[in-house]
Amino acid sequence: MSHVADTPAQPIAFTRNAREALADAQLRRNFRGAMDALMDKRRNQFPDGDELERLRAFGNRVRARALSKLPDLLERLEANLVRNGVQVHWAETVEEANAIVHGIAERHAARKVIKGKSMVSEEMEMNHYLGARGVDCLESDMGEFIVQLRAEKPSHIIMPAIHLNAGQVAKLFHDKLAVEYTEDVDRLIQIGRETLRRNFFEADIGVSGVNFAIAETGTLLLVENEGNGRMSTTVPPVHIAVTGIEKVVENLRDVIPLLSLLTRSATGQPITTYVNMISGPRKADELDGPQEVHLVLLDNGRSQAFADGELRQTLNCIRCGACMNHCPVYTRIGGHAYGTVYPGPIGKIVTPHMLGLETTRDLPTASSMCGACGEVCPVKIPIPSLLRRLREEAVRAPAAEPHHVRGQGAKHSRKETLVWRAWRTLNTSPGLYRAAMYAGTRLRGLMPADIGPWTRYRSAPKPAARSLHELAREHLGEQ
């Protein structure tokens, strides 16, 4: 059995994807219910607003400090991991990262990979890459397992199958796993457990992500509730962790505030069931754990975001998903409409660095700029400012220097540039402005009733008979 997911939605088709998603009543109910619950849970974890604000500021400083010495910390992390017996690999692109993982698989003649949840492996489309080369990847996180059975992508970075309800999962299990139809969630989870259990020890390789890589001790920290992460990183003879280069923190104690912010913001838990800290492969006298541990450090556009002081803040992200849980756009269109691995507000600011603005140009504009994402971000990423910045990069002339983002100017239009130039002239030349206002008010009868998308849901605006300036002058003149 091969588990190869296809890609149904693409970011370039965002507008169409969003329109389709909006018309799907079931999808909207599923997301509305889930997001409301997640927002409540997070709120309950932070009863003390003062503590929350101080902790967010602290989390921001811890991340900023790590990024301010990122190259040194990466080298220190590597040195300490190597001292602990972990093999470290570096990859600039997802192709390189996949080739590294495949190389390890080939050396072990591996046929079967069991995966704990990893968004970086989604970024790499590792399942597809290895599947095409005869190595079967099986997802073991319950949510990931469900979306893999449906040949779908995760619709949320923490809750991959959040777009589905129990009835839909019941039908899926009934159809694909040949089990009795049941909507009882306990029973469905037991079916998942039983189906996956043997796979943990049949797998040749376990793959996981990393939540925090600790430079000081050479430790990979993973959080999870199910135990599949511990299984995937303990039972198979080889463990490969894949992560982005930004995930490093300086000291062990730095994970304390970040861990608290992560689990409370993500799922409203004081802590996850398991906090799994891996500092090396099985030692000679130990009886379990992998014989080999590998870490693949992936760039994939992160160094581009890093190059700009403002955009660098994108890399503060600890992947909690609170921004999407609180996003009015995400709640209405769901995660698939974005057509990207990372959906929602964080996806809109991180994906342009991974894919370039050519295909992601509509993402920064898919926001009402309400600011909720920035307000809840546990590490204080100014997401709305970064969205505005990326909008600017998308319309900056393609040849303008310096070049901050790949695909700069993807939305650039000569016509729009001219319109704005004219607008600026009009608003900065008093004589011209007065003349335009005079013409606009006197010719108001000529305003068309249909002005494109604006009038699809609204009536056309009609200028007043006289401008405010005129009325004010008249009023002051009378005094």
Partner 1 sequence: MNAKERILGKLRASLAGTTPVADDYDIGLVTDPWRYAADERIARLRRMLEAVHGETLVTTVAQWPQRVLEALAARGIDELLVSPATVHGRRLAEHVRAQDAALRLKGYENPVEAWKDELFFHTPASLTGTLGGIAATGSLVLWPSPQEPRLMSLVPPLHIALLNASEVRDNLFELMHAQRWTDGLPTNALLVSGPSKTADIQQTLAYGAHGPKELLVLVIEDA
Tell which positions 296-355 bind partner 1, by CB under 8 A: 297, 299, 303, 306-308, 312
With CB under 8 A as the contact rule, the residue among 2, 8, 44, 51 that binds partner 1 is: 51
User: Which DSSP string corresponds to 96-107?
Assistant: HHHHHHHHHHHH
Question: Vertex 346, ends 320 and 47: CA angle to 5°?
Answer: 40
State the pairing for strand pair 292-298/238-244: parallel
For residue 68, give Cα distances in angstroms to 113, 219, 309: 36, 20, 10
With CB under 8 A as the contact rule, the residue among 79, 132, 151, 166 that binds partner 1 is: 166
With CB under 8 A as the contact rule, the residue among 217, 365, 385, 441 that binds partner 1 is: 217
CB-based contacts of 165: which residues, under 8 Å, 6+ apart?
Answer: 26, 30
> Does the protein bind partner 1 through residue 385 (CB under 8 A)?
no
With CB under 8 A as the contact rule, the residue among 18, 21, 27, 70 that binds partner 1 is: 70
- Residue whose entry in the numeric block shows the structure tokens 């009402």: 368
324 phi/psi in degrees, rounded to 5:
-75, -35
User: Where in 240-279 is the site for partner 1 (CB under 8 A)?
Assistant: 245, 250-254, 256-257, 259-260, 267, 270-279
Which listed range, 31-39, 339-347, 360-368, 401-409, lies at the site for partner 1 (CB under 8 A)? Answer: 31-39
Which listed range, 4-12, 165-173, 426-434, 453-461, lies at the site for partner 1 (CB under 8 A)? Answer: 165-173
User: Where in 103-162 is the site for partner 1 (CB under 8 A)?
Assistant: 140-143, 146, 159-162
User: Where in 8-27 is the site for partner 1 (CB under 8 A)?
Assistant: none
- 316 by DSSP, 3-state: which? helix
Bridge partners of 205, per DSSP, are 113, 238
> Does the protein bind partner 1 through residue 45 (CB under 8 A)?
no
Which listed range, 12-20, 182-190, 414-422, 431-439, lies at the site for partner 1 (CB under 8 A)? Answer: 182-190
Minimum CB distance to partner 1, residue 229 (Å): 9
User: Where in 409-438 is the site for partner 1 (CB under 8 A)?
Assistant: none
Closer CB to partner 1, 5 or 55, in the complex? 55
